[in-house]
Amino acid sequence: MQAVQASSSPHFSIHSSKPPHSSTCSLVTSSVNVKCSGFSLREQSSLWTSYNKRVILKSSFSAKAASVEVGSSSISTGTAEDDVLKALSQIIDPDFGTDIVTCGFVKDLQIDKALGEVSFRLELTTPACPIKDVFEKQANEVVAVLPWVKNVNVTMSAQPAKPLFAEQLPAGLQTISNIIAVSSCKGGVGKSTVAVNLAYTLADMGARVGIFDADIYGPSLPTMVSPENRILEMNPEKKTIIPTEYMGVKLVSFGFAGQGRAIMRGPMVSGVTNQLLTTTEWGELDYLVIDMPPGTGDIQLTLCQIVPLTAAVIVTTPQKLSFIDVAKGVRMFSKLKVPCVAVVENMCHFDADGKRYYPFGRGSGSQVVQQFGIPHLFDLPIRPTLSASGDSGMPEVVADPQGEVSKIFQNLGVCVVQQCAKIRQQVSTAVTYDKSVKAIRVKVPDSDEEFFLHPATVRRNDRSAQSVDEWTGEQKLQYTDIPDYIEPEEIRPMGNYAVSITWPDGFSQIAPYDQLQTMERLVGVS
């Protein structure tokens, strides 16, 4: 393991390496350690403090042992295990609204009741979980109060990095958990500043992070960071790109390709963008932040179509003209089923002589939030240091980790982590097969409605070329071709818009949520 540490900042320290395939970036005792000494959950952000308080204890519960992987050395088969699971079921994940046992966070439970020893691992959805310390403390406390327990050993880890996508992805993207697009659709609003500072905030929270600068015409990343190696290297055997690094964050930009800024036509730019993104050896990443180029043209559509974007962060400024362009980008993401989770309004105000001034007016960010229902708004002030830090090659959150701007990015980082976790949870459970009632259960993300479909109904409504003639619209798949007793073998999510269903005959059906919502539903199933 190679440690990468920022010598210029005593507050920012990340241990980063190419982690082993089976490791999950443990936060306490596993082989991959992440050290976050810059931002304290208990001392810094008031948002984080209030967020910590949301981890509450349930007064009544039922332990769900099926969600727990019990270690082979566990000697208790009944009461002791039930006691531990019942105690841990008091801890509620505030994002999912469910206890950590039901969420499946409790792993490797081992109990020696004779000695009063209990050990287990809490595997969270991300190493950047802002309340991981609270979970660890709560888990120790609720188990320690059991009368027969004398010693509790809790270790913390995170799930392995993997995309929430069913189809085959390019090799470089297969071990990335979340891909975040930072977009504005308007140039000059500070989008690159937000992307870079968000990435380094997520890294300081404990995540493995990469940044992809998707602007081929005017790459900003080489100006905003200062890696020792400023030229991308190729793996001659695999014909892949090896990203450069700065303070533990992996970086890819056309500006590091030795070409400077490009002069080429749109189709060529789309090809270069695709190659840079998909042939890079990103390794295991919890978050890949994509600094999107301005506009809603070929490049943006190409990026949205070739990668499974988890979510988007929208950057705007107070001017009305900025809102008009940003609105186009929000609509683009909406059509592509990419949820926009936050709006960052840059250059909002500055303070002077004890007063706050808004030189560009007010309301653009709020208008985006209100019109499109994006839940979170973050205001960035006009600060010379924010611009200067970008030009100097050291992001503001690294240069001044205790400053006001850094605290805003801390809050944004918490928001992104929370929202990505919610999205992944919703998508992974949106469409499932309930064997007890032999029906497909559907609960589309961002909808409170839940309904059931007969498997044969779903299979008979396939609209692919194998079932419907693309030219004439003639139905090739006949009703009687599908038996009533058919059951799906596997259901896997496909990003935020559909699922892939594998049937016993080997057919893989793509079923968009929109189509599932129009099918005839089963009545009286619950």
Instruction: Answer whether residue 54 shows pLDDT above 50.
Output: no
Per-residue pLDDT of 196-220, as tens digits, reads: 999 999 999 999 999 999 888 778 8
If one compares 162 and 17, the residue with the highest pLDDT of the two is 162
If one compares 33 and 469, the residue with the highest pLDDT of the two is 469
Whether residue 281 is found in the same domain as residue 306: yes
- CATH number where 470 lies: 3.30.2020.30
Q: Where does the pLDDT of residue 117 fall: very low under 50, low under 70, confident under 90, or very high at 90 and above? A: very high
Q: Let me know if residue 62 belongs to a domain.
A: no
The winner for highest mean pLDDT among 27-41, 262-276, 490-504 is 490-504
Query: pTM of the full predicted structure?
Result: 0.77
Whether residue 238 is found in the same domain as residue 273: yes
Among 425, 456, 476, the domain boundary falls at: 425
Domain ranges, residue 421: 166-425
Whether residue 113 is found in the same domain as residue 185: no
In the chain, how many domains are there? 3
Q: Let me know if residue 28 belongs to a domain.
A: no
Q: Let me know if residue 260 belongs to a domain.
A: yes
Report residue 132 CA to chain centroid gap.
16
Per DSSP, the three-state class of 450 is coil
Mean pLDDT over all residues of the chain?
79
Separation CA 160–CA 178 (nearest Å): 12
DSSP string, 350-384: EEETTEEE-TT-S-HHHHHHHHHT---EEE----H
- CATH number where 235 lies: 3.40.50.300
Whether residue 465 is found in the same domain as residue 388: no
- Per-residue pLDDT at 1: 35
Instruction: Answer whether residue 180 shows pLDDT above 90.
Output: yes
Among 376, 405, 425, the domain boundary falls at: 425
Min mean pLDDT across 59-63, 126-130, 152-156, 251-255 is at 59-63
Whether residue 267 is found in the same domain as residue 377: yes
- Whether the CB-CB separation of 395 and 5 falls below 8 Å is answered with no
**Averaged pLDDT for residues 468-473:** 83
Whether residue 466 is found in the same domain as residue 342: no
- Per-residue pLDDT at 17: 35
Whether residue 170 is found in the same domain as residue 154: no
Q: What is the DSSP letter of 43?
A: T
Separation CA 396–CA 139 (nearest Å): 35
Whether residue 327 is found in the same domain as residue 365: yes
Q: Let me know if residue 342 belongs to a domain.
A: yes
Among 369, 395, 425, the domain boundary falls at: 425
Whether residue 183 is found in the same domain as residue 213: yes
**Averaged pLDDT for residues 353-377:** 82
Q: Let me know if residue 490 belongs to a domain.
A: yes
Q: Let me know if residue 525 belongs to a domain.
A: no
If one compares 328 and 434, the residue with the highest pLDDT of the two is 434
If one compares 143 and 17, the residue with the highest pLDDT of the two is 143
Q: Let me know if residue 7 belongs to a domain.
A: no
Whether residue 329 is found in the same domain as residue 254: yes
Whether residue 319 is found in the same domain as residue 204: yes
Distance separating the N- and C-terminal Cα atoms of the chain: 51
Whether residue 115 is found in the same domain as residue 172: no
**Averaged pLDDT for residues 481-491:** 93
Q: Where does the pLDDT of residue 264 fall: very low under 50, low under 70, confident under 90, or very high at 90 and above? A: low
Q: Let me know if residue 57 belongs to a domain.
A: no
- CATH number where 154 lies: 3.30.300.130
Per-residue pLDDT of 286-319, as tens digits, reads: 999 999 887 666 677 777 777 888 999 998 888 8
If one compares 369 and 41, the residue with the highest pLDDT of the two is 369
